[in-house]
Each structure stands twice: as C-alpha cells, then as structure tokens.
Structure 1
Amino acid sequence: MELLQRIRAVEEELKAAEERLNFATNQLDIDLAVIDIDAAERKRNLLYKLAKKEGVVANGF
C-alpha cells in the first residue's frame, strides 16, 4: 500500500475511534476507544515521520 494511502487509512481509523468515544455509554467502550485512539495516533505519527524522511508531500496533511 502506498504511504499516502496508509496515512489516509490511519486518519480514518482515528476518526472512527473518536466517534466511538463520543458515543460510548459504558466504561469498557470508553477504555477501548481510548486505546484505539492512542494506537491510531501512534501509527499516524510514525507514518508522518516516514513520509518526512522519504520527502513525501501532499496537500491536506
């Protein structure tokens, strides 16, 4: 998968996890959403670092 596609996919994962957190109704769902948000943010940050290292430039990021 192309790097920019991977970044877009992780951004979607992050949005979905944030949405789950917004509608969580019990502690377990809150905890799982927070874990998913943390994981997606870490993935995104790693992909951003890799993109910077490779000199990838894209509008909207």
Structure 2
Amino acid sequence: MILIADGFERAKLKDIFYSLIQIKEYHHSAISYRINERNIIFQAEENQDEQLDDEWVQGLLLDG
C-alpha cells in the first residue's frame, strides 16, 4: 500500500504515524500494523473503507 499526500494531508499522516509508533501493535478487521525493530508493517484490506464506515460513529472510531 502506498500513501500519496501533500500539504495538509501529509501533516495529518505524519501525526497519525507518530501516534501509532507509541503503540507497538494494532489489529482491526480492516487495518493492522506492527512495529518490528525499525520497520512498520502496515496492512489494509481492499474493502477497508466499507468496514471502517460501518464503525465510524459521531467522529469516533470504535475498536471492536
């Protein structure tokens, strides 16, 4: 997966990934990642948007 962003989007992605670094591993039905030494392994399912939209409620992502 390749993320392409510029300007404001790049700043948001940078903040998100810095936050993720504090958590060593995260699993969701649509997205998972883990930090291994200096590498970040990030995986996303093709239908992740549909799965995440189902769980997005009033601006909060529910981790279930």
TM range (shorter): 0.3 to 0.5
More helix by share: 1
TM-score, normalisation: structure 2:
0.33
TM-score by length of 1: 0.34
